[in-house]
Amino acid sequence: MNQWEIDGKTRLYGLLGNPVSHSLSPFIHNEGFRRLSLNARYLAFSVKEEDLESTLSALRKMGVGGLNLTMPLKEAVLPLCDSLSKEARLSSSVNTLVFSENGKMTGCSTDGIGFFRALESENGAVNGQKALFNGARWCREKQSSPEQSIPKYRKFGFCKELRPSKKTEHLLKK
C-alpha cells in the first residue's frame, strides 16, 4: 500500500470555523504528515457557532485525533471543554482541542506562544522587555512595576490583571 493512501487506520485531524475555505492549514498539516510518513489527514470543516456542540460530539464519537479552532469558535468552545490549559484559561480562548484516550477534551491555546516565538525570531529575545501591541488582544510585560509584581500576560486595553470570564470560571474548579 502507498504511504499516502487512506485506510481504516488513518487518523483524522481538522480545522473548525467559519469561514475556513481560505485556510492554508490543510495544506500545511497534510504536507507535514506526508513528510513524517504519518497515516493521518487534516481537513477544514465549515462549522457555525450554533452547530459546534453537535459537531464536537460527533467528531469525539468518531475518534478524531485533534482539532484546531478559528473564529468565531475560539470562545464558544470554552464551556464545552472538559478542561482547559493554563494558557487557554488566561486568554479565555481555545485554538486547539486535544482528545485523550479516555475521551476527555482539553482546550489549549497556542496563539500567545506562537506570536512571541515569531516576534523573537524577527527581533531577538524579548525576555525582560516591555511591549504593548496596539490592536492586539494581549500585552506582555515580564518586568515588575515599582508598585507591584505584574503578571506576564494582561488583558489589552487597561491591562488589568486577567480574571476568568463567566464562560471559564466553572472550568477552574475541575
DSSP result, 71-91 = TTHHHHTGGG-SEE-HHHHHH
CA distances for 19 relative to 24, 47, 69, 70, angstroms? 12, 8, 11, 9
Question: How far apart, in whole angstroms, are the C-alpha atoms of residue 30 and residue 99?
Answer: 19
Q: What angle do CA 71, 76, 82 make, to 5 degrees?
A: 125
Q: Which of 9, 74, 155, 166 is catalytic?
A: 74
Q: Which grid coordinates are listed for 91?
A: 486568554
Q: Is 104 a catalytic residue?
A: no
Q: What is the DSSP letter of 162?
A: P
Torsion from C-alpha of 67, 70, 76, 79, nearest 10 degrees: 30
- Is the C-alpha dihedral spanning 149, 153, 156, 160 positive or negative? negative
Residues annotated catalytic, as ranges: 74
